[in-house]
Every structure is written in structure tokens, then in C-alpha cells.
Amino acid sequence: MLNRDEWLPLARKLDWDYTYVREDEVFPQVISGHPWLPHSEWKDWEESFKTSYREYVHNQYEKDMAVYAVRDAVGRLENIQKLAAPWLNSLKVHAAALPLAEFTGVIGSLRGARFGRDSAWRTMSTFGALDEYRHTQIPLLLFHQLVRWDSQFDWAHKFYHTNNWFAIAARHFFDELTLGQNAIEFAIGTNFVLETGFTNLQFVGLASLARESSDHMFERMVTSIQTDEARHAQIGHPVLEVLMKHDPEYVQYLLDKWFWRSWRTFSILTGVSTDYLTALEQRPYSFKEFMEEWIIDQYVRMLDEFGLKKPWYWNIFEDELDIYHHMIYASAYTYRATLWFDFVIPSPAERKWLRQKYPKYWDDMDAVWEQVIERWRTTGPGAANEFAVHGTVMPTFCDLCQLPLSGGSPRKNTANVLTRDGRKYIFCSEPCRWIFLREPERYANHKDLVKRVLSGEAPAEFTNLLTEYFRLTPDTWGKDVYHGAYDWLEAKKASVA
Amino acid sequence: MAPMIGSKPKKPLSPSVTREDVYMPIPLYGFLEGDTLGLLVFAEEVETVQELARKLQDAANIRVARNDDLELLYNGKTVDLALTAAQAGLQPLDRFDVIRRHKV
């Protein structure tokens, strides 16, 4: 009988020469990706995990049982109800953004499982698809029990099926990255940039935040997901190695494009959770510190390893570490009814911490929060006053990332207008404009929310926009967690009086 | 609460309304210094640039304190506050900025 090391290569390397069809008919460039190369260029494709199907099933079973055990022990409704209110809203953000995005990863991985250029790649992609299906089902299962208690958790399933502005942005990202992508760009954009560069480590960081917040259910869930990500993310590395021999400029473009697009999504989800929705005493680090320690060093090392350059916009990216998620959070707070989770105003102690962690721009951000607080002080707290402390004019969105035009800083917003073929586009930043101009035929016909409203495709009236287009209800649309009733705000009001 | 932007008319226009009577507000991307995002602001052709600046300031007031000493920038240049939107040449979906007036 063959031992494992002898039969595993036989079971994973299953390529053969085609006799009745051409290789480029089996693997058309349009779906296998650029550059099209004969299999002889891919035959040495290899990754380090080398898992058999039997081992895969065994390991995944063990991991699922561990998740169920933690759910039964500490993941019941009564456990979740004890969590701090701001953290619960971080859960709601991830509950919505994660599961169906992972499902798009199933589709992208299956494309690699069929159109990846080597059989070992295809084997690994098959496991990757099964992983992503697991990452869809686990959060849907765990969050479903919470819907009867808090209907905002219903957005775990609902989010991507709505035209909520953040769902439009998330779909724009995942439709291109995963659902509609060829096997090579999927391997570079998803496996290498998003997973190896961001989410693999993001899940480590998120698990740490969840542990500090005593949310052991979420900690276990993301840890379990992270172990899968660490494995199937390895697909990107060997694909990149082959591409570097044939078209390094294309590799540089794909990395620069997907790093920026991933950063935009990542900074909102993780930046807001880390610096605003985790209680101050439970924050192990600031978002910027997390990025510098976990993401940037590793990414730059990976670039060096392949002889690639930092993206041309690296200075812009580094500047955004200090400000972008703060711009987004303050904007979103003042348009909270357009989202499916609740918000908090940073307390004086938190603002002091934010000033210490983000000295470059915090003066400008602090002025914004002071103005918001002044509005609550004037109206007084209470659910009835929510809309008196809320934006009333249509916010605006980038024609590439579809996120609010919150690039730059309060002193200088970096939005820029482009006229192309008689149409006007606006971008939040130079990198978004650059990505658009590299592949305009891919992006030009997508309408951002403003243009949908102006063309009559989306309702202009605010309540109709919330209910008919964003699919929110008075129960689910976002509010201030405390409806403005903060102890420190009351104390300040009394001292002013 | 106030609508986000003008709703479509529920009824058809009266036959007595001539084409000249129907104005088309100009949708613009407005950026107020101190704010965290851009806002969609509609300029009436006949309103002054100063009124437009104030409109943006009102729209952003939840985040940015009012300031009476303002200037409006369009295509990177300061625009005379007394001009109308039409005279200033504002075109749909253009960007304009409202900033605190620089002290000389």
C-alpha cells in the first residue's frame, strides 16, 4: 500500500495532454485569465498545505464541532444580550457584510476549481469553495437565532439583497472581485491581496477584539474561518510566481488595483469596529496600529519577495490611515438611519484616546463631533429627536468604490470630477479615478446612488429612499444607541447651565 | 422632515405653464471646508453664489459650525458672491467648494 506522501501527488496532479480539443478551448483566456500560457508553464504549480479530501473533511468536521460546542456553551441569546451595546453593533456590521460576501467567494473559487491552469490549483480551489460555503453558513446559522430578539440581525441575510448604499458599494466590489472574475485575477485579487494581505490577519485581529469584548462566540467563529483562509489563500502565491515570469507589469497593476479596493472596504469594517464600536478599555490597539503591525509590514515584505513595487499611491494610502475611517464614521453617524445598525458618539475619554492615536487630523474631526454633540444638547436626548440630529440632504458617492465622497480630510476633500464621452463622473480619490480610467468599459455604465436618484430610478424623498430602496424600517434603521442620552453630555449640559 | 431632494411633481403641469416658467435646478457636488463628505446641492439659476454657499452650509450644519465669512471656489477659482449660479457658469454635476475666507 502506498503511504500518504506517495499517493498524494498522484491524487492532486491529474493533468494530461488533450487529444480531441485544443488546450485554449478547455481553458479559454476569457475565463481562465491573462496571460494565457500552455500548461507546461503551470506544471510546477504547488502550495504548501497539500491536503487530501479525506483530511479536509476530517479537519473541517472537527472545526465545526468546536464551533457548535462554543455556541452551546456561550453563544446563546442570553450570552449575546450581555454584550456591550456598541460591540453588538460591530457584530451587526459583520453579520451583514460577511456571509453572502463569502458566498460570492464560493462562486469565484469554483471558477478556479474548473478554470485554474493546474490540477493542484483546481484541487485547492475546490476546497476553497467548500471553505467559503462554510463561511456563509456558519454566520447565517449563528446570527439567525438573534433575529427574534433584534430585527437588525435579519440583515445577515438581507443586506446584499437590498439597494442600501453600503450594499451597492459591497456588491460593486464583490461582483468584480469574486462573482464575475476570471481564475487568474481571482487568485491574485482574492487569494493573494484580499485574503493573504487583509482578511487572514483581519480575522486574527477581530478574534482578539471579540475576546476582549467577552464575545467568545464571535471569537470562535472568526478563528475557525481564519484557519480556512490561511490555507486557501495560499493559491495566490504560486499563481503570482508564474505570472511574474511572463507579465510583471500586469501583476503590479492587479495588486495595486485590488490593494486599494480591498483597503476601502476593510478600513470601514475593521476601522469602525476597532476605534468606535469596541469599548475603550477593551481596545488592544488602534486601527492604525493594527494596520501597521499586521497588514502593512507583511504586505511590503510580500512585494519585496516578488520584486514588486509599493503601489504608486502609497503616500495617499498612508495618509488615509490617519483619517479615512474617521471621515466615514462621522458621516455615517449623521446619516445613521440609512444603515441597519446603531452608532455611538465617542465619549470625552475616547476622543482623548483618538487624539493621542491620530494626532495628525484629530483637531478637525473633534470639531465635527463637538458640533454633533451641540445639536443633541440643543434638542435634548430621546428617540423622538433622532432626526433632529441627522443629515437631511443627499450625501454623494464615488463612481468607482460607490462609497461616500469622504476622501482627504475635513480641510481638503479629494473628490475629483471626470468628463468622459459626454458623461460626468466623480471619484473620492486619485486611486479610484486611476482604476476607473484603466478599465473604463468595466465601470462606466454603473450608476452610483446620486445618479439613480437624479434619473428617477431611486426615490428622492428621504423616507421612501430608506424604506423602498434601502429596505429599512423604523425598527431596523440605524439610531444613536443611547438616543443622545450620554452621562457625560448631561454632565456637561449641567455645568454649562 | 424635509425631503432629501425635490420630489417629482405628483400632477402634470398645467397647460398654462410655459416652458420658460419651468426652471431646472442644477445638481452640484458641494464640499464645505470642515465637513467629512460631499453633499448634493441644487442651485437655482437665478440664486446668487452667496445663497448657494449658505445652502451648503445649512445642509452641513449638523457637522460644521456656521461661519459668515465665506468664499466659494469653482474650478479652483474664487467666484464673486454676487453672481448668480448661471452667471458663474455652474454646470450640472460639477464640484464647488465653500471655504472660510482667507484673511489678507
CB contact under 8 A, A367 and B40: no
Q: Which of residues 422-481 of A touch B (CB under 8 A)?
A: 424, 426, 450, 453-454, 456, 460-463, 465
What pLDDT, on a 0 to 100 scale, did the predictor assign at position B9? 41
Q: Measured between CB atoms, does B71 come within 8 Å of chain A?
A: no
Give the Cα separation of A237 and A195 in Å (integer).
11
Give the Cα separation of A384 and A22 in Å (integer).
69
Residue of A nearest to B29 (CA): A396
* Among candidates A389, A411, A456 on the partner chain, residue whose Cβ is nearest the Cβ of B62: A389
What pLDDT, on a 0 to 100 scale, did the predictor assign at position B6? 42
Question: Binning pLDDT at 50, 70 and 90, where does residue B13 land?
Answer: very low
Give the Cα separation of A309 and A314 in Å (integer).
10
pLDDT digits (tens, 9 = 90+) for B67-86: 989 999 999 999 999 999 99
| pLDDT of B20 strictly over 60 | no
Distance from CA of A389 to the nearest CA of B (A): 7
CATH says B24-100 is which class? Answer: alpha beta
Give the Cα separation of B56 and B72 in Å (integer).
10
What pLDDT, on a 0 to 100 scale, did the predictor assign at position A294? 84
What pLDDT, on a 0 to 100 scale, did the predictor assign at position B11? 47
Q: Which residues contact A285 (CB under 8 A, 6 or more apart)?
A: A274, A293
What pLDDT, on a 0 to 100 scale, did the predictor assign at position B4? 54
* Among candidates A364, A387, A426 on the partner chain, residue whose Cβ is nearest the Cβ of B34: A364
Diameter over CA atoms, chain A: 88
* Cα-based angle B76, B77, B79 (whole degrees, multiple of 5): 135
Residue type, A360: K
Question: Binning pLDDT at 50, 70 and 90, where does residue B16 land?
Answer: low
Cα–Cα nearest to A156, from A218, A230, A233: A218
Q: Measured between CB atoms, does B66 come within 8 Å of chain A?
A: no
Cα–Cα nearest to A179, from A190, A188, A169: A190
Q: Which residues contact B73 (CB under 8 A, 6 or more apart)?
A: B79, B96, B97, B98, B99
What are the residues facing B98 on neighbouring strands? B32, B72
Q: Which of residues 330-349 of A touch B (CB under 8 A)?
A: 330-331, 334
* Among candidates B2, B94, B95 on the partner chain, residue whose Cβ is nearest the Cβ of A392: B2
**In chain A, where are the structural domains located?**
395-459
What pLDDT, on a 0 to 100 scale, did the predictor assign at position B19? 46
Taking contacts as CB-CB distances below 8 angstroms, the residues of chain B near A415 are 29, 31, 38, 95
* Among candidates B40, B63, B94 on the partner chain, residue whose Cβ is nearest the Cβ of A396: B40
| pLDDT of B5 strictly over 60 | no
Residue type, A458: A
The residue of A369, A377, A413 whose CB has the most chain B CBs within 10 angstroms, and thus the best one to mutate to test that interface, is A413
What pLDDT, on a 0 to 100 scale, did the predictor assign at position B22? 54
Give the Cα separation of A38 and B5 in Å (integer).
56
What are the residues facing A95 on neighbouring strands? none
Number of H helices, E strands in chain B: 2, 5
What are the residues facing A158 on neighbouring strands? none
Residue of B nearest to A395 (CA): B39
Residue whose C-alpha cell reads 500552455 in the numeric block: A38
Residue ranges, chain A, pLDDT below 70: 491-497
Diameter over CA atoms, chain B: 54
CB contact under 8 A, B29 and A396: yes
* Among candidates A330, A392, A424 on the partner chain, residue whose Cβ is nearest the Cβ of B4: A392
Q: What b-and-e string marks burial along A288-316, b requiring 16 or more CB atoms within 10 Å of the CB?
A: bebbeebbbeebeebbeebebebbebeeb
What pLDDT, on a 0 to 100 scale, did the predictor assign at position B103? 62
Residue of B nearest to A463 (CA): B3
Q: Phi, psi at residue A375, to the nearest 5°?
A: -65, -45
What pLDDT, on a 0 to 100 scale, did the predictor assign at position A497? 56
Encode A148-212 in three state secondary structure: CCCHHHHHHHHHHHCCCHHHHHHHHHHHHHHHCCCHHHHHHHHHHHHHHHHHHHHHHHHHHHHHH
ipTM above 0.90, yes or no: yes
> Are A144 and A217 in contact, with CB atoms under 8 Å apart?
no
What pLDDT, on a 0 to 100 scale, did the predictor assign at position B8? 42
Give the Cα separation of A352 and A356 in Å (integer).
6
> Are A226 and A195 in contact, with CB atoms under 8 Å apart?
no
What pLDDT, on a 0 to 100 scale, did the predictor assign at position A144? 92
Query: How is A394-460 classified by DSSP, letter by letter?
Result: -B-B-TTT-SBS--B-SS-B--EEEEETTEEEEESSHHHHHHHHHSHHHHTT---HHHHHHTTSS--
